[in-house]
Amino acid sequence: MKFFILATIVSLAAADVSHIVGKDERGAQILRQEQAVDPEGSYQWAYETDNGIAANEVGTIKVISEDTVAKVAQGQASWTAPNGEKVDFTYIADENGYQPQGDILPTPPPIPLEILRALQYIKDHPSPPEAQQN
């Protein structure tokens, strides 16, 4: 029995499951890679691989006021998901934070009609002000 368990473990460990999992992405070749940095603080980079991954970003310095500046990064990335679906998203990161956009990002479910009605009722019927106690 011990031999059977050991043989099963060894055969599972040695099994080639690459056809189930998909191709190994570690061997992807870089087809294009660019980067440039400006002494004033702006930059840009881009790359593309032979397995369909591509990304690029541009960074700049944004003057908000006379004594305030913000770093701004804007870019996009795309790849093919394991299920074969093409994934694209864009983003900007600035003084307002990181703001990604794309179909891959989760979205909240719609607000139920009952909740919308209740919120409208609360808005239309505000509470009377409370009397102050001394």
Here the tokens at position 45 are: 């980079």
Pairing of strands 43-49, 86-94: unpaired
pLDDT in tens, 59-97: 999 998 888 888 999 999 999 988 889 999 999 999 999
What is the per-residue DSSP string for 8-25? HHHHHHH---HHHH---G
Unique residue bearing structure tokens 């998909």: 22
pLDDT in tens, 15-25: 555 544 556 67
pLDDT in tens, 31-57: 999 999 999 889 999 999 999 999 999
**Is residue 121's pLDDT more than 70?**
yes
Max CA separation in the chain (angstroms): 85
pLDDT of residue 107: 87
pLDDT of residue 14: 60
Overall residue count recorded for the chain in this entry: 134
